[in-house]
Structure 1
Amino acid sequence: MTNRNNTRVALVTGGSGGIGEAVVQKLASEGYAVAVHYAGNQAKADTLVEEITAADGTAIAVGADVADETAMQALFDQVEDTLGGIDVVVNTAGIMPLGPIADYDLETFDRVIRTNVRGTFVVSQQAARRVRSGGAIINFSTSVTRTQFPSYGPYVASKAAVEGLTLILARELHGKDITVNAVAPGPTATPLFLDGKDAQTIEKLSKAAPLERLGQPGDIAETVAFLAGPGRWVNGQTLFTNGGLA
């Protein structure tokens, strides 16, 4: 099913920055009507919407805390009412404060769990109830669940939970014709990744993959677009989109 204008509708959480922005732009370029979610950066979301509509696309900006179930229920209602339904949910929203486990502040840890785990659960729950037949739910993990870089412990713990949740939801939606997958980027040149890293660290990470460069947000968006559209036989998987990083 599609909306009243025969256009597929995608909701992208965290759509106002980094990988989320690239996903919004990619899906809009492929003809999706896009709901651009923001938590704090409304101005960036509004700018993206203006760019898409100026190019004859369809987009709206929607704001809410992903971990607030009441606010997200209202947001999903708004997307359905405005755009006619929801076919794809891409959940890129997340935070990544780094630090060694022995010294990590527990209030910060709780914030990571609230956004990355509870937020993904809330969004996935609404998506499971709303996404139409033929649709897709795409969550975000990280390649660091395999590379196991020091200082990423709390972040990796949250993303390992996301992977487990995603793979189980795929099986719970048996018979619904809805795919559920997780994308696990490697080092990607986004503000979230680059923040707090010196040039030497960034250079080292850029050489870690066989392709010897950092990923770009557009690289990740290509994988998301595949899962959102033609990749119908990929289901219940975590796709490590990282240029071959071990």
Structure 2
Amino acid sequence: MRKLIFASLLMPLLALSQNSTEYSVFENDLLTPNPTQIGQFEKGITAHNKKYHNEGPTGVRVYWISTGPRTGSYVWVMGPLPWSSLDSPAQKEGHAADWRANVAPYLMPGSGFQTSFWKFNADLSFFPKDFTIKNMAVDTWDIKRGKYKEALTMVKKVHDVNVSKSLDDTYGIYTNEFPSTKEGRDLAVISFFDKSAWLGENHSIEKKYEEMYGAGSWDKFLGDWMEVTNGGDTEIWMYRPDLSGISGDVKVAERK
């Protein structure tokens, strides 16, 4: 299990302030363009996002996946938006027609129909200061049936270590609103970083964890984690501001 797990550490990931009982989610769509038509796809999705997804809850950021089996695909991320907004989407005139004419024709068959919704867990995440999204290490985990609460309790323990001893780390915890036992993407741990050198750094999670919970506690954590999960995977996502409707700026620091 690599050191990116949690100390290293989906989507954008904004720390939301909730003013009502309704919580917000991010819509993620996996898009795989025809490899012979990438230029046309990028031109079409850029124009679409700049016109239809350039502000508010329907603002969109686009990421390019640079590692793993899905390398070369794009993730189209809209939000955060409340569930109620899906009852009557505030789409500008011509939105659907533009997508069908200028984006869909350049996608591989079946692409664009892999949609998921992710809830941001503010109590498990850590956004210590304003930042601009550039790269993300996205760890997704398949949680065993009946082990969801145990898994989140363990995530909270690592979160407490990071908040206490890793004040420069920026990461978000997201949970899949419609998890599938076939897909195995229940929990996402997202780390935000600027330079690739960060991937080779020793983030000392074992040392920090044992300073808080005692000698041997990290090995116990790893054993317990394997008991509540069926494994996971890691992807590197690169933010594409040129294709996005909104910037990568994330304002999270409290102003006084």
Structure (1/2) with the larger strand percentage: 2
Structure (1/2) with the larger helix percentage: 1
TM more than 0.5: no
Q: Which has the higher Rg, Structure 1 or Structure 2?
A: 2
TM-score by length of 1: 0.28
TM-score by length of 2: 0.28
